[in-house]
Amino acid sequence: MRPDNYKLEKPREILVIYSLFLKGGSTIKIRIEDKEFEAPGPEEALKLLRERGAFALKIDEKVKGFEALKEISPDMTAEGLTFASKEGKDIYRHSAAHIMAHAVKELFPSARLAIGPAIEEGFYYDFDVEKPFTPEDIVRIEEKMKELVKKNSPFVRKVVSKKEAADLFSKMGENYKVELIEAIPDETVSLYEEDGFVDLCRGPHIPGTGRLKAFKLISIAGAYWRGDERNKMLQRIYGTAFADKEDLKKYLEFLEEVKKRDHRRLGRELDLFSIAEDVGPGLILWHPNGALIRKTIEDFWRDEHLKAGYKLLYTPHMAKLELWRKSGHWDFYRENMYSPMEVEEVEYEIKPMNCPFHIAIYKSSLKSYRDLPLRFAELGTVYRFERSGVLHGLMRVRGFTQDDAHIFVREDQIGEEVQKILDFVVFILSTFGFADYEIYLSTRPEKSVGSGENWERATAALKMALEKNDLDYRIDPGEGVFYGPKIDIKIKDSLGRLWQCSTIQVDFNLPERFDVSYRASDSTEKRPIMIHRALMGSLERFFGILIEHYAGAFPVWLAPVQVEVLSIAERHSEYAKKVADGLRAEGVRAETNLENEKIGYKIRVSTMRKVPYLVIIGDKEASEETLSVRKRSGETMGPMPISEFLGLLKNEISARR
């Protein structure tokens, strides 16, 4: 956007304004990627920063542009930010978003700009345009960005009053920018210009457009302004940017692999699940293959919980609205709940959580200190309102089943119980093939309930359990739930992506709200502490993660079809059916393909279905009553007796491989 009579002032030369700082032999100290350098003056400092790939500064924990060199006093140390740091990546990619917006305005002058932040692995910018962007438009925008990068125009920062900024963007017709300015609490705002293009931005940016070395525009999507469905749908362009072309190439290859593993595509191809518009968005229909995998997961989950001393529950899908008022969900979680329904003049609410039901079961009889810890577990289906714009296959849905548990403990039992849960988490996740984790301890959020003392005790108990287990963790400030702190465990899949699954939450609040108690050894009434816990989180989301982790090639114990028996010719059909029947009788999930097709075609079809083992029946196998076994990888195992193959299968299934 080029205002007719508006131009930001070019920055003054900054190389002479530090002479007062440098008297007496003082130096400027710069730390770049854990190495410290000294420069006798600002000119040398600037040169040093550029030579080592830095494009911004961090001074007193505040991220700033190179113009902030004037704030450095003698012997102060500043950190030079490169692409290697998170802040550096954000600056680099946010600058790429700014350049993309400039390119769009060059090609589509009537486009109006919304926001363009850096995000994980890239950036985006939202535009209000007359017609949706096409793939051909994206190619043109990317080429225009290359032209702007080639010009190497400097980014120039200017701080102006809110009124001046609002007047400027109003004249340009940039109503979204005016709305953003009006929401800023400060009296001034910062603007950035490069080559005549001006944008509202907190900054900083890279010094000039030429520093953007490698970038790619990836996709187009619709996005409501401010994420509100009542607002206009904008066009969002996603892109990514890296410090060098080789890293960009690797990332684009990674995206191709992600695309191949997309659980939505594999869900269709392997006939696992679907979402029907007639049923409603975010509501999953489990097909026979997917339902069979789900049953296997649920059977394993239930068996292991019974072994671990949990008691299994089933609870209703709705309850009186008053229950959710009492629990605090109506006050703290209402935006994720559906509108109440009236039944016989009483308001009911479809459940977003299972916890109040488990408390009701606990309170249905008197409890003694000898009953604790009392472990309740349920595969409970809950319903939460998610806007249609954020729904995403199995990963973000409106109805899902939590592998939920609530454990009632005495305060002196918290540490030991949390340690047991952590061991259980590791066992469950490793069984499904996840060995790498990142652990976070989330502390009290701004919007919460309960006393500070209770929060401190709960947080200390979680921290102690992590340290006793010698587990590395990070503090995630303010990310606890409204009723207590939590441990979040993020699993790393085969592509190195992190997924939030397991959570352990200590809650002093709900037992107080519901007046939960137990009879202590001295016959007094005491309040138990409640631990909320999920190992897999949502079954739907966990299943989506599993699909992508294994690229649909599930291990034998999870595969919906473990063995497919293929006949070479019609005369082999009877023996093929006999083999399949025998395998099914032993609990193996076996199917046959007796179609009058060439065996090569049958093998290809079964391989595409990702069946772990193919049994091929021809004249030799039928006459000798043996099997020719082939793995889905293409490896052949040669002829073997049925008993030998069955033993191999049973060992693999029982070991959950």
For 573-629, write each residue's pLDDT tens digit. Answer: 999 999 999 999 999 999 999 999 999 999 999 999 999 999 999 999 999 999 999
- Residue 263 annotated as catalytic: no
Q: Which of 303, 572, 309 is nearest to 421 (CA)?
A: 309
Tokens for 11, please give them: 């920055």
- Give dist(CA 179, CA 196) in Å, integer: 22
The active-site residue, picked from 486, 541, 549, 589, is 486
| Domain end residue (candidates: 496, 525, 549) | 549
- Residue 355 annotated as catalytic: yes
Residue pLDDT, tens place only, 272-291: 999 999 999 999 999 999 99
- Give dist(CA 305, CA 340) in Å, integer: 34
Q: What contacts 86, CB < 8 A, 6 or more positions away?
A: none
Q: For residue 75, what pLDDT is reported?
A: 60
416 compared with 557, residue with greater pLDDT: 557
| Domain end residue (candidates: 254, 275, 293) | 254
Tokens for 81, please give them: 């930010």
Residue 67 included in any domain: no
Beta pairing class for 28-32 and 77-81:
parallel
Tokens for 35, please give them: 């190495």
Q: For residue 118, what pLDDT is reported?
A: 94
Q: For residue 6, what pLDDT is reported?
A: 43
Do 182 and 241 lie in a common domain? yes
- Residue 406 annotated as catalytic: yes
115 compared with 12, residue with greater pLDDT: 115
At 274 the three-state DSSP class reads strand
Q: What percentage of the chain carries pLDDT values higher than 70?
A: 95
350 compared with 69, residue with greater pLDDT: 350
| Domain end residue (candidates: 497, 523, 549) | 549
Residue pLDDT, tens place only, 303-337: 999 999 999 999 999 999 999 999 989 988 899 99
Do 607 and 525 lie in a common domain? no
Can you give the CATH number for the domain in which 394 is found? 3.30.930.10
The active-site residue, picked from 375, 532, 602, 609, is 532
Do 371 and 504 lie in a common domain? yes
Residue 40 included in any domain: no
Terminal CA-CA length for the chain:
59
Tokens for 401, please give them: 């089943």
Residues facing residue 567 across a β-bridge: 617
- Residue 486 annotated as catalytic: yes
Do 491 and 573 lie in a common domain? no
Q: For residue 383, what pLDDT is reported?
A: 96
Do 194 and 113 lie in a common domain? yes
Q: For residue 104, what pLDDT is reported?
A: 97
Do 124 and 186 lie in a common domain? yes
What's the pLDDT band for 42 if we cut at 50, 70, 90? Answer: confident
The active-site residue, picked from 201, 355, 541, 562, is 355
Residue 178 included in any domain: yes
Do 458 and 577 lie in a common domain? no
Residue 612 included in any domain: yes
Do 114 and 198 lie in a common domain? yes
Cβ atoms of residues 508 and 457 within 8 Å = yes
Q: For residue 318, what pLDDT is reported?
A: 97
Residue 110 included in any domain: yes
Does residue 204 have a cis bond before it (omega within 30 degrees)?
Answer: yes
Q: What contacts 256, CB < 8 A, 6 or more positions away?
A: none
Do 492 and 586 lie in a common domain? no
Cβ atoms of residues 308 and 424 within 8 Å = yes
Q: For residue 1, what pLDDT is reported?
A: 44
pLDDT beyond 50 at 16? no
Sheet with 346-350, strands from edge to edge, namely: 318-320, 346-350, 341-343
Do 616 and 533 lie in a common domain? no
Q: For residue 521, what pLDDT is reported?
A: 94
Task: Report the domain count for the chain.
Answer: 3
Average pLDDT, the chain: 90
250-256 long-range CB contacts below 8 Å, 24 or more apart? Answer: 251/121, 252/216, 254/495, 255/218
Residue 62 included in any domain: no
Tokens for 185, please give them: 């609490």
DSSP state of 385: -
Do 365 and 466 lie in a common domain? yes
Q: What contacts 450, CB < 8 A, 6 or more positions away?
A: 483, 484, 508, 509, 512
Q: For residue 74, what pLDDT is reported?
A: 61
DSSP state of 284: -
Instruction: Name residue 305's amino acid.
Output: H
Can you give the CATH number for the domain in which 628 is found? 3.40.50.800
Residue 524 included in any domain: yes
Structural domain including 626 reads: 563-654
- Give dist(CA 197, CA 156) in Å, integer: 10
Instruction: With residue 527 as reference, give the H or E element that holds it.
Output: none
- Residue 202 annotated as catalytic: no
The active-site residue, picked from 102, 157, 305, 402, is 402
The active-site residue, picked from 199, 403, 404, 507, is 404
Residue pLDDT, tens place only, 80-97: 888 988 999 999 999 999
Can you give the CATH number for the domain in which 105 is found? 3.30.980.10
- Residue 384 annotated as catalytic: yes
Residue 142 included in any domain: yes
- Residue 102 annotated as catalytic: no
Can you tell me the mean pLDDT for 150-159? 94
The active-site residue, picked from 105, 211, 406, 463, is 406
pLDDT beyond 70 at 21? no
Residue pLDDT, tens place only, 449-497: 778 888 888 888 888 888 888 888 999 998 888 888 999 999 999 999 9
Instruction: With residue 629 as reference, give the H or E element that holds it.
Output: strand 626-631
The active-site residue, picked from 58, 98, 358, 384, is 384
Do 470 and 516 lie in a common domain? yes
